[in-house]
Structure 1
Amino acid sequence: MRTRLVIVFLVPLVALMLSLGGAAGWSAARSIQQGFYASQLADLGYFVTSARQGLLSANTTVFEGEASRYQEVYGIEVAVFDLSGAVWASSSGAAPLLTPDQTEKVGLALSGRRAETPVPAFPWSLADTALVEPVFDDGAVIGAVLIAADADAPRTEIAQQTAIFVVVAVTAIGLGVLLVFLLARWVLSPVRRLDEAMVAIEHGAMDARVAEDTGPPELRRMTRVFNGMAGEIERVVARQQEFALNASHELRNPLNALLLRVEHLATGLGPEWDHDVEETREEGRRMTRILETLLSIARTGRADSPFSAVDLAVLVARRVDAWRDVAAQRDVVFRIAGEAAVMSVTDRTIVESALDAVIDNAVKFSPPGGVIELGARHEAGACTITVRDHGPGLGDDQVSSATDRFWRSDSSEEVPGSGLGLAIATDLMASVEGEIVLAPAHGGGLVVTLVVRDGGAG
C-alpha cells in the first residue's frame, strides 16, 4: 500500500518538476541564443558603417584597427569584400578561409541582399554563425562585411544553465521524494500498527491495541473501531475459555464417579463380562484425555498435542468396536478393509475424536441393513483413513459446503443432528495439520477421507 501511495504522489511531482525544469531550461537556452545573435547583428551594423567610410576613402587603416581589436577581445573574425568578391580588409590581416555557405552568403550580399536573422536551433545543436551584410552608398552596393563567430561561448553558457537547472530539479525531486515518503509514513503508520496488532492477536496476544492519537483523522476513527472490536473479541474469547474450563472441570467429577461405579459393578460380574468392562474403562480413559485437552485449550488457548506413534489400522478397529452396538441398533454393520498396519506419528486423541464424528455421521445417514466400510492406508506423503457409507450421499455442489458449521442438506432435515459433526472433524484434523476430504461415492453414498500427516507437518 505504501508503494502505491508513494507512486500516486511521486509520479505527478516528478512529471511537474521535469516539465517546469525543461521549460525553464529551454527558455534560458533560447534567450542565450537570441542574445548571441542580436549581439552579432549589432556588431555587424557597426562594422558596415566603418567599412563604408573606409571603402569611400580607400583607406583600410581605421577599419583594420577596429576589427583587429574586436577579434582580439571577442575572438570573432571580421572581413570586408569589394565588388569583385576579393577581401579588401580583415581583422587578421589575411584573407579568411570561407566555407561554401559563407561564399554563397557573400555573393548574395554583393548582389544587394541583406543578412537574415539566424533561425534559433535546438540548444544542443547551436552552430557557428556567419553573418554577411551589404555595404551601400547612395543605394548602390560597394562591398560586403562578414562576421564569422564560433558558438563555443553560448554553448558553454547553455551547458552551465542546463547544469544549474538539472541540479535544481534533482534537488527539488529529492526533497519531494523525501517529503512523499515522510507523508506516506505518517499516513500509513496507523495502518502498519493495525497490521502489527492483528498479527499479535492472531498469535494469541488478545490485549494488543493501537494508539489512537496519531495519523490522519480518518484513520484514527478506524483505529478506535479496531480497538473496540479487539476488546469485544478478547471478551468473547475469555468467556469461551471460561466456559470450556468450567465445563471440563465440572465434567471430571461425574466422569470419575461413573468410572468408580463401573469398577464396583465389575466386581459382581462374571468373566464373560470382562471384555465389555474393559471397553467401558477404555472409553472412560478416552473421555478423560478429551477433558484434559479441553482444559489445556481453556488455559493456554491451544492444545498441547502429545504426538506419538499410532497404528491407524488398530485405531480404526477399536473405534469400530466402540460403535458396533450403536450401529447395530440401526441394523448397520461395519466392514474393515485396507492395510493391516499403518503407522503414523500424530495425536491419537485428536484423530480418534475426528473419526468418531465421521462415523457418527455415517451411522446416522446409513439406511437400515446398510454397510459402512472403513480402512487405513498409506498414501503418498501421508496416511489416510476412509469411511464410506451407502446413504443418500451429497452432490458435487454440496460437498464444498458439508464441512461448514450447521450446514445440512435438504434431504437430511428429518435426521436428528445439528450439522456440526463434519465441521468439528475438519477443525480437529486441521489442528494437527491434517484435513478432511469429502467425495461422492460410486454407486451412492459418501466417502470421507481423514488425511493424517506424520508429526502434524505438511
Structure 2
Amino acid sequence: MRKRLIVVFLVPLIAILVALGGAVGWSAARSVQQAFYTQQLGDLGYFATSARQALRSGSDAVIDAEVKRFREVYGIEVMVFGLGGSVWAAGEHDSTALPEEDAERVKLALSGRRAEQSTVFVPWAIADASLAEPVFDDGDVIGAVLVAGDTDAPKAAIVQQLLVISGIAVLLIALGVLLVFRLASWVLSPVRRLDEAMVAIERGEMDARVAEDAGPPELRRMARVFNGMADQIERVMTRQQEFALNASHELRNPLNALLLRVEHLATGLGREWRADIEETREEGRRMTRILETLLGLARGGRGDSATSAVDLATLSARRVDAWREVAAQRGIILLETGERSVMSVTDRTSVESALDAVIDNAVKFSPDGAQIEVGAVREGDVCRIVVRDHGPGLTSAQAAAAADRFWRSAESVDAPGSGLGLAIASDLLLAVGGELLVAPADGDGLTVELVLADRSNP
C-alpha cells in the first residue's frame, strides 16, 4: 500500500516539475537566441552605414581596418560585397571558400532583400550563424554586408542555463520524494499499527491496542473504533472463558460423584453387567477428558492438543457402540465397516467429539429402520473415518455449505437442532490438522469423511 501511495503522489509531482522545467528551459534558450540575433542585427546595421560611406567614396581603407579590428576584438567575421557580388572589403579574411549558404544570403541581399531571422524549432541549435544585409544609397542597392557570428558563446550559455534548471529540478524532485515518503509514513503509520495489533490479537494477545493520536483525523477515528471493537471482543472472550471455567468446575464434582456411584453399584451387580459397567466407565473417562479440554481452553485462550497414537478403527467402533442404543430407539442399525486397525497420531478427544457430532447428525436425519455405516480406512498417508447414512441426502451445492454454522437445508428447517453439529466437527478437525468432507452418497443419503493426515511415521 505504501508503494502505491508513493507512486500516486510522486508521478504527478515529477510530471509537473518536468513540465515546468522544460518550459523554463525552452524560454531561457529562446532568450539567448534572441539576444544573439539582436546582436547580429546591430552589427549589420553598424557596418551597413560604414560600408555605404566607404562604397560612395570608393575607398576601402577605413572599412577594411574596422572589419579587421572587429574580428580581432570580438572574433566575428564581417565581409563587404560590391554590387557585382565580389568581395570589396574583408579585413584580410580569406573569402575564396565562401560557403554556399552564405553566398545565397549575399545574393539575396544584393537583390534588395533584408536579413530575416530564421525559424528555429530546437532552441539550443543556432540555425543561422551568418546574416546578410543590403547597403542602400538613395534607395538603390550599392552593396551588401555579411556578418558571420560565433555560435559557441550562445550555445555555452544555453547549456549552462539548462544545467542550472536541471539541477534545480533534480533538487526539487529530491525534496518532493522526501516529503512524499514522510507524508506516506505519516498517513500509513496508523494502518501499520492496526495491522500489528490485529496480528497480535490473532496470536492471543487480547490487550493489544493502537495509539489514537497519530495520523490523519480519519485514521484516528478508525483507531478509536478498532480499540473499542478489541475491548468488546476481549470482554466477550473473557466471559466465554469464565463460563467454560465455571462450567468445567461445576461439572467435575457431579461427574466424580457419578463415577463413584457407578463403582459402588458395580460391586452389587453380577458378571452379566460387566460389559455395561465398563462402557459406563469409558463414557465417564471420556467426559473427564472433555472437561480437561474445556479447562485448558478457559485458562489459555486456546486448547493445546494432547496428541498420541490412536487406533481410529477402535475409536470408531467404540463410538458406534456408544450410539447403538440411541439409534435402536428408532430402529436404526449402526454397522461397523472399514479396516480392523488404522493407526494415527492425533488428539483422541477432538476426533471423538467430531465423530459424535457426525453420527448424531446421521441418526437425526436417517429414516426409521435405516442403516448407518461407520468405519476407518487408510489411503496412503491419509486416514479417514467414513460415516455413510441413508437419509434424504443433499445436493452438491448443499453439501458444500453443510459445514457452515447454523446452516439448515430447506427440507430440514423443522428438524430439532441448531445447525452447528457439522460446523463444530469441522472446527475440531481443523484444530488437529484435519478436515471434514461432506458429499452426496451414491444412491441416497450422505457421506461424511473425517480426514486426518497420518503422522504416525514422521
TM-score normalised per structure 2: 0.95
| Partner in structure 2 of residue 49 of structure 1 | 49
Task: Write out per-residue CA displacement over residues 281-335 of structure 1, whole angstroms, 9 at most, x where no aligned residue.
Answer: 1111111111111100100011111112222222212211221121112211122
Deviation at 1:381, TM superposition (A): 4.5
Task: Write out per-residue CA displacement over residues 91-142 of structure 1, whole angstroms, 9 at most, x where no aligned residue.
Answer: 4432252221111111111122211122233124333521011111122222
Task: Please give the alpha-carbon distance, in whole angstroms, between the structure 1 residues aligned to 2:407 and 2:233.
Answer: 24
Q: Which moved more, 1:332-341 or 1:385-394?
A: 332-341
Task: Write out per-residue CA displacement over residues 45-90 of structure 1, whole angstroms, 9 at most, x where no aligned residue.
Answer: 1111111222222322222222222222332211111122221111
Q: What are the equivalent positions in structure 2 for 1:43-442 lying under 5 Å apart? A: 43-95=43-95, 97-379=97-379, 381-442=381-442
| Partner in structure 2 of residue 28 of structure 1 | 28
Task: Write out per-residue CA displacement over residues 359-403 of structure 1, whole angstroms, 9 at most, x where no aligned residue.
Answer: 111011111111111222223552221111000112233223322
Task: Please give the alpha-carbon distance, in whole angstroms, between the structure 2 residues aligned to 1:76 and 1:28.
Answer: 24
Q: Which moved more, 1:353-362 or 1:94-103?
A: 94-103
Q: Which residue type is aligned with residue 229 of structure 1? A: M
Whether the aligned pair in 2 keeps the contact of 1:80 and 1:145 (CA below 8 Å) is: yes
Q: Which moved more, 1:118-127 or 1:315-324?
A: 118-127
Task: Write out per-residue CA displacement over residues 204-229 of structure 1, whole angstroms, 9 at most, x where no aligned residue.
Answer: 11111111122222222221111111
Q: Which residue type is aligned with residue 352 of structure 2? A: E
Deviation at 1:455, TM superposition (A): 4.9
Deviation at 1:182, TM superposition (A): 1.0
Whether the aligned pair in 1 keeps the contact of 2:120 and 2:127 (CA below 8 Å) is: no
In structure 2, relative to structure 1, the CA distance for the partners of 1:380 and 1:15 (3 Å cut) is farther
Q: Which residue type is aligned with residue 217 of structure 2? A: P
Deviation at 1:354, TM superposition (A): 0.4
1:448 equivalent to 2:448? Answer: yes
Task: Please give the alpha-carbon distance, in whole angstroms, between the structure 1 residues aligned to 2:92 and 2:332.
Answer: 124
Task: Write out per-residue CA displacement over residues 258-282 of structure 1, whole angstroms, 9 at most, x where no aligned residue.
Answer: 1111111111222222222112111
Task: Please give the alpha-carbon distance, in whole angstroms, between the structure 2 residues aligned to 1:409 and 1:107.
Answer: 102
In structure 2, relative to structure 1, the CA distance for the partners of 1:455 and 1:125 (3 Å cut) is farther
Q: Which residue type is aligned with residue 257 of structure 1? A: A
- Helix, strand or coil at the partner of 1:405: coil
Q: Which residue type is aligned with residue 242 of structure 2? A: E
Task: Please give the alpha-carbon distance, in whole angstroms, between the structure 2 residues aligned to 1:147 and 1:20.
Answer: 36
In structure 2, relative to structure 1, the CA distance for the partners of 1:393 and 1:41 (3 Å cut) is same
Gaps of 5+ in 2: none
Whether the aligned pair in 1 keeps the contact of 2:118 and 2:127 (CA below 8 Å) is: no
Task: Please give the alpha-carbon distance, in whole angstroms, between the structure 2 residues aligned to 1:433 and 1:69.
Answer: 100
Deviation at 1:2, TM superposition (A): 2.4
Task: Please give the alpha-carbon distance, in whole angstroms, between the structure 2 residues aligned to 1:380 and 1:437.
Answer: 17
Task: Please give the alpha-carbon distance, in whole angstroms, between the structure 1 residues aligned to 2:173 and 2:157.
Answer: 24
Task: Please give the alpha-carbon distance, in whole angstroms, between the structure 1 residues aligned to 2:3 and 2:42.
Answer: 57
Task: Please give the alpha-carbon distance, in whole angstroms, between the structure 1 residues aligned to 2:234 and 2:261.
Answer: 41
Task: Please give the alpha-carbon distance, in whole angstroms, between the structure 2 residues aligned to 1:339 and 1:195.
Answer: 48
- Helix, strand or coil at the partner of 1:433: coil
- Helix, strand or coil at the partner of 2:132: strand
Task: Please give the alpha-carbon distance, in whole angstroms, between the structure 1 residues aligned to 2:241 and 2:248.
Answer: 10
Gaps of 5+ in 1: none
Q: Percent identity?
A: 68
Q: Which moved more, 1:24-33 or 1:89-98?
A: 89-98
Whether the aligned pair in 2 keeps the contact of 1:79 and 1:96 (CA below 8 Å) is: no
- Helix, strand or coil at the partner of 1:123: coil
Deviation at 1:7, TM superposition (A): 2.6
- Helix, strand or coil at the partner of 1:400: helix
Task: Please give the alpha-carbon distance, in whole angstroms, between the structure 1 residues aligned to 2:207 and 2:86.
Answer: 100
Runs of 4+ in 1 over 3 A off after TM superposition: none
CA RMSD between the two structures: 1.8
Task: Please give the alpha-carbon distance, in whole angstroms, between the structure 2 residues aligned to 1:454 and 1:299.
Answer: 30
Whether the aligned pair in 1 keeps the contact of 2:314 and 2:341 (CA below 8 Å) is: yes
Task: Write out per-residue CA displacement over residues 128-181 of structure 1, whole angstroms, 9 at most, x where no aligned residue.
Answer: 521011111122222111111242221111111111111111111111111111
TM-score normalised per structure 1: 0.95
Task: Please give the alpha-carbon distance, in whole angstroms, between the structure 2 residues aligned to 1:176 and 1:396.
Answer: 58
Task: Please give the alpha-carbon distance, in whole angstroms, between the structure 2 residues aligned to 1:417 and 1:119.
Answer: 91
Task: Please give the alpha-carbon distance, in whole angstroms, between the structure 2 residues aligned to 1:180 and 1:244.
Answer: 51
